[in-house]
Amino acid sequence: MKFVPIVIGIILIVMVLWEGFETIILPRRVTRRFRLTRLFYRNSWYSWVRIVNALIPLQQRETWLSYFGPLSLLVLLSIWAVVLVSGFALIHWALGSAVLTMDGQAGFITDLYLSGSTFFTLGLGDVLPHSSLTRLLVVVESGMGFAFLALIIGYLPALNQTFASREVSISLLDARAGSPPTASEMLSRHSYERGREALRQLMYEWEHWSAELLEGHLSYPVLAYFRSQHDNQSWLAALTAILDTCALIMVGLEGACERQAELTFAMARHAIVDLSLVFLTCPVEPNPERLPPDKLAELRFLLTSKGQKLKEGEAADRKLLELRLLYEPYIYALAIYFQLSLPPWIAENNWGDNWQGSFWERPENGDVSTSKCKNIHF
């Protein structure tokens, strides 16, 4: 019996089981700075970004960056399975390869084969343990394999459901705040009669969305790497637009829902700060500044033209700056890390909402006609 391989094998098994527990089962943020899963994601994400930026054309980079989330999850699960199989194989080998084979051969490769067929519950019968200890080891590994597959089967639907719930609210923001969402559009589009009540309800809903986003991304950090359906939308852009809007209302927007804006701002800022801790993104001052004085003056003029009077004066400007400093450094650092674009405060005039466009209406595709679509079959 060799004790060193046994110890190494046990360490590998316990390490993967603990990582799996923290990643899949534990529904809270892990405060321990060193984690193999976090190390895997940070290194693989940086490598993926470098490869994409170096090899992929600009117009296709967003698509390739969106592949990382699902692919990294599959790779991580595969690594866990390989490490578990290798750990049990090391223990089998250290116990003297106590197995019976059809051809009479024994060794680490045979032990690795036995461990793999046991973990994935193949049960081919061409390699059999012949000692009580190895039989016990096979039973333990077989049960662990069943549990591993069960966790994956339960984990993926929960992950997809949380992702879908996040994206529904982002899509609903399209007609309410533009694509990408901006504070100017959100306030301008609620300047109609009874629009203030609709804005208050929207802020209420996004207070809950921010809480759900925080809990979902703490439970499933890999969700942050899952990108939205449209290139001009993201969970970070939506959260930024909400924070910008709340900041303007809190500074002083006549007749607006200031109390609800304060509650939504608090929850959204809480989400941003906690997520920056999860992904170890140190706050960074935005460069260039998102709202310089000339843009702020333009924003005031735009809101006034839409019937939304924003408080003016040095005190109002100072309060707005103080509010922005509470969240902009965090969102800017997260945007750099995730390679996401932050929305401006004022929407460009040539921007259209996602719902207003269509592939068939693009100039390069010509006019929409039935004859162009009649040969498409499903």
pLDDT tens figures, 169-220: 999 898 889 888 999 999 988 888 788 889 999 999 999 999 999 999 988 8
Q: Tell me, yes or no, whether 342 and 195 share the same domain.
A: yes
Distance in angstroms (rounded) separating the CA atoms of residues 183 and 174? 12
- Residue 316 inside a domain? The answer is yes
Distance in angstroms (rounded) separating the CA atoms of residues 115 and 91? 10
193: its two tokens: 């009669």
Distance in angstroms (rounded) separating the CA atoms of residues 77 and 248? 44
Distance in angstroms (rounded) separating the CA atoms of residues 243 and 324? 8
Q: Tell me, yes or no, whether 63 and 210 share the same domain.
A: no
- Residue 16 inside a domain? The answer is yes
If you count them, how many residues does the chain have?
A: 378
Residue with tokens 């207003």: 356
- Is 358 a residue whose pLDDT tops 70? no
Q: Are 353 and 301 in contact (CB under 8 A)?
A: no
pLDDT band (50, 70, 90) for residue 322 = very high
Q: Tell me, yes or no, whether 79 and 211 share the same domain.
A: no
Domain hosting 253: range is: 162-348
Number of domains in the chain: 2
Instruction: Identify the burial level of 313 via C-beta atoms within 10 angstroms of its C-beta, where 0-12 means exposed, 13-18 middle and 19 or more buried.
Output: exposed
Tell me the average pLDDT of the chain. Answer: 85
Q: Tell me, yes or no, whether 107 and 208 share the same domain.
A: no
Q: Are 262 and 250 in contact (CB under 8 A)?
A: yes
- Residue 365 inside a domain? The answer is no
Q: Are 75 and 49 in contact (CB under 8 A)?
A: no
- Residue 344 inside a domain? The answer is yes
pLDDT band (50, 70, 90) for residue 373 = low
| pLDDT for the residue 133 | 84
**Residue 232 amino acid letter:** N
Q: Are 106 and 97 in contact (CB under 8 A)?
A: yes
Q: Are 113 and 140 in contact (CB under 8 A)?
A: no
Q: Tell me, yes or no, whether 176 and 256 share the same domain.
A: yes
121-137 average pLDDT score: 77
Q: Tell me, yes or no, whether 126 and 231 share the same domain.
A: no
Q: Tell me, yes or no, whether 66 and 210 share the same domain.
A: no
pLDDT band (50, 70, 90) for residue 376 = very low
147-158 average pLDDT score: 85
Distance in angstroms (rounded) separating the CA atoms of residues 237 and 218? 19
Q: Tell me, yes or no, whether 183 and 236 share the same domain.
A: yes
Interval 38-82: pLDDT, tens = 889 989 999 999 999 999 998 899 999 999 999 999 999 999 999
Q: Pick the closest to residue 279 from 321, 228, 235 (CA basis).
A: 235
Q: Tell me, yes or no, whether 175 and 320 share the same domain.
A: yes
pLDDT band (50, 70, 90) for residue 357 = confident
**Residue 253 amino acid letter:** L
Enter the DSSP assignment of 23: I
Is it true that the peptide bond before 180 is cis, omega within 30 degrees of 0? yes
- Residue 152 inside a domain? The answer is no
Domain end among 130, 148, 179 = 130
- Is 164 a residue whose pLDDT tops 60? yes
Q: Are 92 and 114 in contact (CB under 8 A)?
A: yes
Q: Pick the closest to residue 170 from 231, 225, 111 (CA basis).
A: 231
> How does DSSP assign 252-275, residue by residue?
HBTT--HHHHHHHHHHHHHHHHHH
| pLDDT for the residue 20 | 86
Better-scored residue on pLDDT, 342 or 230? 342
Distance in angstroms (rounded) separating the CA atoms of residues 312 and 250? 13
Q: Tell me, yes or no, whether 125 and 37 share the same domain.
A: yes
Interval 245-300: pLDDT, tens = 999 999 987 667 888 999 999 999 999 999 999 898 999 998 889 999 999 999 98
- Is 375 a residue whose pLDDT tops 60? no
- Residue 323 inside a domain? The answer is yes
Q: Are 85 and 17 in contact (CB under 8 A)?
A: no
- Residue 371 inside a domain? The answer is no
